[in-house]
Amino acid sequence: MNRKLLYALTLGVGLTPGFAFAQAASSTQSVSPAAVTMFIFFVLVTLGITYWAAKRTKTAAQFYAAGGGITGLQNGLAIAGDYMSAASFLGISAFVYAWGYDGLIYSVGWLVGWPIVTFLIAEPLRNLGRFTFADVASFRFDQAPIRVLAASGTLVTVAFYLVAQMVGAGALIKILFGLEYWHAVVIVGCLMILYVTFGGMIATTWVQIIKAGLLLGGATLMAFLVLYAFNFNPGALFAKAVEVHPRHAAIMGPIFAPGAPVSTPLSAISTGVALMFGTCGLPHILMRFFTVPNAKEARKSVFYATGFIGYFYILTFIIGFGAIVFVSTNPDFIDQAKVAGGMSVINATRGFPNMAAPLLAKAVGGDVLFGFISAVAFATILAVVSGLTLAGASAISHDLYANVFARGKASEADEIRVSKIATVCLGIFAIGIGVLAERINVAFAVGLAFAIAASCNFPVLVMSMFWKNMTTRGAVVGGFLGLITAFLGVVLSPAVWEGIFGNAKGSSLVTIDNPTLFSMALAFAGIYVVSKLDTSARATSDRAGFPMQFVRSQTGVGAEGASAH
Amino acid sequence: MATVRLEAIEKNPKYQHLVAERRSLGVTLSVLVCIIYYGFILLVAFAPTFLGASLTGGVTTVGIVVGVLVIVAAFLLTGFYVNRANGTYDTLTKQILEETSK
Report d(CA A228, CA A194) in Å as an integer.
41
Report d(CA A254, CA A324) in Å as an integer.
17
Report d(CA B53, CA B37) in Å as an integer.
20
Residue A213 at interface with chain B, using a CB cutoff of 8 Å: no
Q: Taking CA atoms, what residue in A is nearest to B88?
A: A296
Q: Judge whether B2 lies within some domain.
A: no
Q: Taking CA atoms, what residue in B is nearest to A250?
A: B52
Report d(CA A18, CA A25) in Å as an integer.
11
Residue A174: the pLDDT is 82
Q: Is B54 helix (H, G, I), strand (E, B) or coil?
A: strand
Q: Judge whether B23 lies within some domain.
A: yes
Q: Taking CA atoms, what residue in B is nearest to A312?
A: B71
Asked if A202 and A65 count as a contact pair (C-beta separation under 8 A), the reply is no
Q: Is A112 helix (H, G, I), strand (E, B) or coil?
A: coil
Q: What secondary structure does DSSP assign to A347-368, as a single string?
A: TTBTTTTTTHHHHHHHHHHHHH
Asked if A226 and A360 count as a contact pair (C-beta separation under 8 A), the reply is yes
CA-based Rg of chain A, rounded to a whole angstrom? 23
Asked if A396 and A151 count as a contact pair (C-beta separation under 8 A), the reply is yes
Please list, in sequence order, all residues whose beta carbon lies within 8 angstroms of the beta carbon of residue B100, skipping any fewer than 6 positions away: B5, B8, B9, B12
Report d(CA A35, CA A17) in Å as an integer.
24
Average pLDDT over residues B63-85: 95
Residue A262 at interface with chain B, using a CB cutoff of 8 Å: yes
Interface predicted TM-score (ipTM) of this complex, two decimals: 0.94
Closest CA to A439 of A47, A157, A167: A167
Q: Could you tell me the residue range of the domain that residue B43 belongs to?
A: 15-97
Closest CA to A95 of A330, A372, A363, A357: A357
Pick out chain A residues at pLDDT < 70.
1-31, 257-263, 353, 560-565
Q: Is A387 helix (H, G, I), strand (E, B) or coil?
A: helix
Residue A544 at interface with chain B, using a CB cutoff of 8 Å: no
Put simply, the answer to whether B77 touches A115 (Cβ < 8 Å) is yes
**Which residue type, as a one-letter code, is found at position B6?**
L
Reduced 3-state DSSP string for A119-145: HHHHHHHHHHCCCCHHHHHCCCCCHHH
Q: Judge whether B4 lies within some domain.
A: no
Residue A312: the pLDDT is 96
Chain A interface, best mutation among B5, B15, B64, by max A CB count within 10 A: B64
Residue A513 at interface with chain B, using a CB cutoff of 8 Å: no
Q: Judge whether B20 lies within some domain.
A: yes
Dmax over CA atoms of chain A, in Å, equals 75
Put simply, the answer to whether A253 touches B58 (Cβ < 8 Å) is no
Higher local confidence (pLDDT), B3 or A300? A300
Put simply, the answer to whether A253 touches B78 (Cβ < 8 Å) is no
Any idea what DSSP says for residue A232? T
- How many CB atoms lie under 10 A from the CB of residue A250? 15
Asked if A490 and A448 count as a contact pair (C-beta separation under 8 A), the reply is yes
Count of A-B CB contacts under 8 Å = 159
Closest CA to A290 of A414, A202, A210, A213: A202
Residue A276 at interface with chain B, using a CB cutoff of 8 Å: yes
Q: Judge whether B35 lies within some domain.
A: yes
Put simply, the answer to whether A272 touches B86 (Cβ < 8 Å) is no
Residue B99: the pLDDT is 86
Report d(CA A14, CA A514) in Å as an integer.
12
- How many CB atoms lie under 10 A from the CB of residue A369? 20
Burial class (CB in 10 A: 0-12, 13-18, 19+), A544: exposed
**Which residue type, as a one-letter code, is found at position A280?**
C
Query: Which residues are bridge partners to B54 per DSSP?
Result: B61
Average pLDDT over residues B25-33: 96
Q: Judge whether B8 lies within some domain.
A: no
Torsion sign across C-alpha atoms A417, A420, A426, A429: negative
Q: A546-552: long-range contacts at Cβ-Cβ below 8 A with a sequence spacing of 24 or more?
A: A546/A140, A546/A468, A547/A468, A547/B6, A547/B10, A548/B3, A548/B6, A549/A128, A549/A139, A549/A140, A550/A468, A551/B6, A551/B9, A551/B10, A551/B15, A552/A127, A552/A128, A552/B1, A552/B6
Asked if residue B84 has pLDDT above 70, the reply is yes
Burial class (CB in 10 A: 0-12, 13-18, 19+), A558: middle
Asked if A440 and A500 count as a contact pair (C-beta separation under 8 A), the reply is yes
Put simply, the answer to whether B86 touches A253 (Cβ < 8 Å) is no
Q: Taking CA atoms, what residue in A is nearest to B70?
A: A108
How many domains does the structure of chain B reveal? 1
Please list, in sequence order, all residues whose beta carbon lies within 8 angstroms of the beta carbon of residue A315, skipping any fewer than 6 positions away: A216, A219, A220, A222, A223
Residue A35 has phi, psi (to 5 degrees) of -65, -45
- Which domains does chain A show, CATH number per domain? 2-447 (1.20.1730.10)
What's the angle, vertex CA A420, arms to CA A419 and CA A421, rounded to 5?
90
Put simply, the answer to whether A101 touches B10 (Cβ < 8 Å) is no
Report d(CA A166, CA A85) in Å as an integer.
11
Interface of A with B in 86-105 (CB under 8 A): 101, 104-105
Q: Judge whether B102 lies within some domain.
A: no
- Give the global pTM: 0.90
Residue B35: the pLDDT is 96
- What is the distance of C-alpha A13 from the center of its chain? 11
**Which residue type, as a one-letter code, is found at position A1?**
M
What's the angle, vertex CA A402, arms to CA A398 and CA A407, rounded to 5?
140
- What is the distance of C-alpha A269 from the center of its chain? 20
Put simply, the answer to whether A112 touches B70 (Cβ < 8 Å) is yes
Q: How confident is the model at residue B102 (pLDDT cuts 50, 70, 90)?
A: low
Residue A203: the pLDDT is 94
